[in-house]
Chain A
Amino acid sequence: MTPNEHEIETADEAAPPVKTKITIRLLDKIETTNASNSVGN
């Protein structure tokens, strides 16, 4: 797990959501942009 991934709780899909599952996943290189739109100011 990277520092930006947070497993807040563990989901139990078979039961009512007494446990919450929230995952923050850093995107992979291929999912992000290589473009720069800086105008240099």
Chain B
Amino acid sequence: MRLPRVKFEHRPHRYEDGTIRIGGEIYGIAAEIEDPYGWVWTALCLMDGTRSSEDIADRLRLAHPELPDAESVVEQLVATRYVEDAAAVPPAALSEREIDRYSRNQAFFRMVGPGPHSWEAQLRLKGARVVVLGLGGTGSHAAWALAAAGVGEIHCVDPDLVELSNLNRQVLYGEADVGRPKAEAAVARLRGVNSDITVTGDRRCVGSRRELADLIAGFDALALCADRPDGHRIRVWANRACAAAGIPWVGGGYSGPLVTVGCFTPDAGTCYECLCDGEEARRRPGTPVDLGGPGVIATSAGLSGQLVAHAMIALLTGASAPPAGTIRGVNLIAADHHVRVSHPPRPGCPVCGTRVRARFNSNGRISPA
């Protein structure tokens, strides 16, 4: 880092006892730093974007001759999410138009993310290729959010036509679209939302794991928002196909007021099938699980799709730790019900046991190792 600077959002405050509060007010970001000798406060004050790390360490040593390891103090602070590189400039791969379009994204990533360069997350989004399978209540919101966020290539897949009863929740369609293939209408709408990305579509259903594997070939991630042939079976297909391809997937849905999203990566956490087995073992034997019924409103569908998109963005950017190997959610009629499904992998699981590690390559793309 050339010119360390405490991020504007995280500017520190010092209490009377010398303790430093940094990172604002949000749980997960805000922190306190014990600083009985004032060394950290001095270092943070020096990190105003005008000095190098070496210069800061020199000045820190001059201000506190008793400090034995000024370089270490600076180094550790620079490694936190609270410090950015004032010398960093937006990458050349982003146009001026994109810099303007995604300026709020950048501010968000700067707030929540680590790293000296907050445009890196946007660059990763731009380099990502994502399949959105299912363009209904969940998928329409997810696809919109991914397009708005700047995912570079989105492939939209759904076999259905737009119906009037879809319009209570499916954000990509209007009355003029009734009777039109969802994939076609979605592509047109998303291209209108963001012409700086590539949006393609395919009106088709996925009828087998092999078909799903063919669909995701060459893509970086799958947003699974489909519930046919049934929600569980297609998720099992996704679990197997994405593990074989070495790519992550996110699946979301709702059942009335209950909204959940699962996030699965090929190199960390428990796979979907292991989570399902864990949940099955947790239930009273013989208890039927019926998640059917048409009840859904715009809010539950919107939350579902937005949670899918957010998990996907977290996966693609690494800006916040994605909850890999878990299912999380909210219950709109029970404010104290926070869903968090987490179970250990099953011994001998064919998916977890054959995982392919994934990583970001130099272009910010996820690729099999």
| Residues B1-53 near A (CB distance < 8 A) | 22, 25-35, 37, 39-40
- For the complex, give the distance between the alpha carbons of A21 and B40 in Å: 10
> CB < 8 Å: which of A6, A20, A27, A28 contacts B68?
A20
How many of chain B's residues have a CB under 8 angstroms from any CB in A?
25
Q: Which of B69-77, B87-95, B351-359 contacts A (4 or more CB under 8 A)?
A: B69-77
Nearest B residue to A19 via CB reads B68
- For the complex, give the distance between the alpha carbons of A28 and B40 in Å: 21
B27, B33, B68 interface centre (most CB from chain A within 10 Å): B27
* Interface residue B175 (Cβ < 8 Å from any Cβ of A): no
**Does the CB pair A17–B68 fall under 8 Å?**
yes
**Does the CB pair B81–A32 fall under 8 Å?**
no
Chain A residues with CB under 8 Å of B31's CB are 4, 24-27
- For the complex, give the distance between the alpha carbons of A16 and B68 in Å: 11
Interface string of B83-105 (1 = CB under 8 A from A): 00000000000000000000000
Known pairs A20-B67, A32-B25; A27 contacts B30 (CB<8 A): yes
A19, A22, A29, A32 interface centre (most CB from chain B within 10 Å): A22
- For the complex, give the distance between the alpha carbons of A26 and B37 in Å: 20
Known pairs A22-B34, A27-B30, A27-B31; A8 contacts B25 (CB<8 A): no
Nearest B residue to A11 via CB reads B36
- For the complex, give the distance between the alpha carbons of A33 and B33 in Å: 18
**Does the CB pair A18–B68 fall under 8 Å?**
yes
**Does the CB pair A20–B39 fall under 8 Å?**
yes
| Residues A1-41 near B (CB distance < 8 A) | 4, 6, 8-9, 16-29, 31-33, 35
**Does the CB pair B76–A22 fall under 8 Å?**
yes
**Does the CB pair A29–B40 fall under 8 Å?**
no
Known pairs A29-B27, A33-B25; A23 contacts B34 (CB<8 A): yes
- For the complex, give the distance between the alpha carbons of A17 and B22 in Å: 24
**Does the CB pair B69–A24 fall under 8 Å?**
no
A28 to chain B, nearest CB (A): 8
Chain B residues with CB under 8 Å of A35's CB are 25
* Interface residue B230 (Cβ < 8 Å from any Cβ of A): no
**Does the CB pair B30–A22 fall under 8 Å?**
no
- For the complex, give the distance between the alpha carbons of A26 and B24 in Å: 11
**Does the CB pair A22–B39 fall under 8 Å?**
yes
Nearest B residue to A7 via CB reads B76
**Does the CB pair B80–A24 fall under 8 Å?**
yes
- For the complex, give the distance between the alpha carbons of A35 and B111 in Å: 17
> CB < 8 Å: which of B26, B30, B37, B76 contacts A8?
B76
> CB < 8 Å: which of B28, B29, B35 contacts A22?
B35
* Interface residue B66 (Cβ < 8 Å from any Cβ of A): yes
- For the complex, give the distance between the alpha carbons of A24 and B83 in Å: 14
B46 to chain A, nearest CB (A): 15
> CB < 8 Å: which of A6, A9, A32, A33 contacts B69?
A9
Chain B residues with CB under 8 Å of A19's CB are 68
- What are 19 A-B pairs with beta-carbon distances under 8 A? A8-B73, A9-B72, A16-B66, A17-B68, A20-B39, A20-B68, A20-B73, A22-B39, A22-B76, A23-B33, A24-B33, A25-B34, A26-B28, A26-B30, A27-B31, A31-B30, A32-B25, A32-B27, A33-B26
The 3 closest A-B pairs by CB, nearest first: A33-B25, A32-B27, A27-B30
